Structure 1
């Protein structure tokens, strides 16, 4: 018996950053991958290496400058995560175990995060092995450290692990007994992690000390929902959403009464400063370090706001002049290569993907870069990461057969659906030359036969 289910982490749109370098030989190990990547400096300039932040354009303000490690919209935009030399993801198994996979940007190969590619990757002796994925896990990196967070599930507390980039020396950093594990944005100053966590029915901005695992509460967040949206210098950018009309029996009326408020939080002195606020559906926003991009639905404009100086720059003053109906814009995605991508959808359910060059305001369609990933709707292929002048992108679906058990206890084969990966030049991507994509070889499949 054979069925197909969708791997919930890897089937969503992948929109965090990395790109590749040069071709290599088959069967490269993790150690070889890192070595080859470090030797490729002639191809990839050191200053352009991916810093694992959704903002690749913000200026560094010192060794301890804050930067985002996980996009503020959470797991949807972080199914895969990148270091300067490769990309990591979790492959879930049917028995709620899993493995960490590593895509090497030099050799264009996806392998188990293991020093021995021919080894049995289904036990704790292998660095790629995850013994419990129940509730869900996600990865993120900081400098030379790979983190793995597991969500709280029923009576099992969440856990935050840290390890070397090759998967070795894994250890538990935090057990989330008083708080729930993080679900949204995570920032770092190189010594601590900053995140918003739930504690019972309240949300708290906390500092997690990496050296000790201590959780230090900084402030109780207000509103009905709160987010850590961006970071730069010594400043965190926080957002709260509060419903003004909570007594209404009309859910839409209550929804439209929501007020969004964005403000600074200085981690040195704890001073908060409100930046701006708006009513639900009036603005759409995306962040890039110290810059905030606001799409004004009523004014049909897109502007850039410097969060540090307050200076504003109009990117597009009339979307309608570009044949864009602002009311049809559904989602804004993380910014990469100074481009903002957004979805548009009409009442008939038709979707298309557009991009804005934030330097010159040019709007163009990247609709050819779409493919149906499942039978229930069209999933847009996404940028996994950027590196130098290239993107690592999803480029279709990959069915990985795994042993499973049906509801009656009989053996069955389950196809876990993952994303295929490819590398493409940024110039080719923005000009819809998708036949120039170079596929990544799924070497990890060879050891699963």
Structure 2
């Protein structure tokens, strides 16, 4: 707790008005409103003059009676007010308890609750935009559209099963509903693909900077961070362990790892650093491979699909030398930068293009950022895929309907409409911030 202009303390529950009335001389009316009151401790000593905002259930964030206390933000006065409220019958909220209560009272879905937490933790503009959309309920609407489409197909099949004598059900055959299921599959797959790419905006792109010694890896890290986090030296083998840093851009966050220069060496400590560098590159989402324009062109074996090749120290090259370098490394489509002069805009643009983050920023599609949510949607898609496979294998519509119903239930669980065990629910919300 730190000193601030205003502290806000929130009471939620059926006894909220009763508890606050024990510390003010004139009871609050049980209605939505605002008022100014003197606040007293249990011994009758004046603690502060507070501004109270009252919400009567269900018209509050949690769906319960809520009283918000706006007091002066001194550490001691805030502490004394909290102690008084606890003495009057309140208790400290658990992490995420207000969001959990809102969910249990059907004020928000699980996607919205996750959006609130993501909004608090957002590190860049794209993560902020996605979190705000999820918090607002817009993603709920889009997921519900998918649910509705599945329900339409299920209803057609169920009607054909229950009323086979109706002429309207004659055309409900596996072959005739296949196109509807393909559209369902493609719609879910698009959400999953966008969500997996968008997760980089939330979690950061784990980025390894690799190359031979003295090629400018540490300079590039410092250029990204705009600080001297890594030691920069002309002496080979300066970096012998992993140096980390994080930097947020408009649409993405880089979790940067500067690694030891990779070369043959007899130094056991340096060799350990090199081995660690190769493992970091293997585990990274993105590899920035700095090419040595003056040395051996033989490259370390890397996954080219996740690698951007970078030529540093472009400021040291004449026009003719640059053309020669471009020809030498033509197959790698390298980006030219000058890390020492912080001339790395072209590299930032290449990263953004590689992850299609501009496309995600402009998209109005549903986007999920939580791994569990993406997993549930992936399971729903697998059931839709099973239905398509069963159609191809000549299965009857009643068997096809089983997979579609399971997919529907997965979407219900994603939104939080199915009953969830208390232990699982506690685990979902315990990572949230205190007081939310």
TM-score, normalising length from structure 2?
0.20
Which entry has the higher C-alpha Rg, 1 or 2? 2
Greater percentage in strand: 1
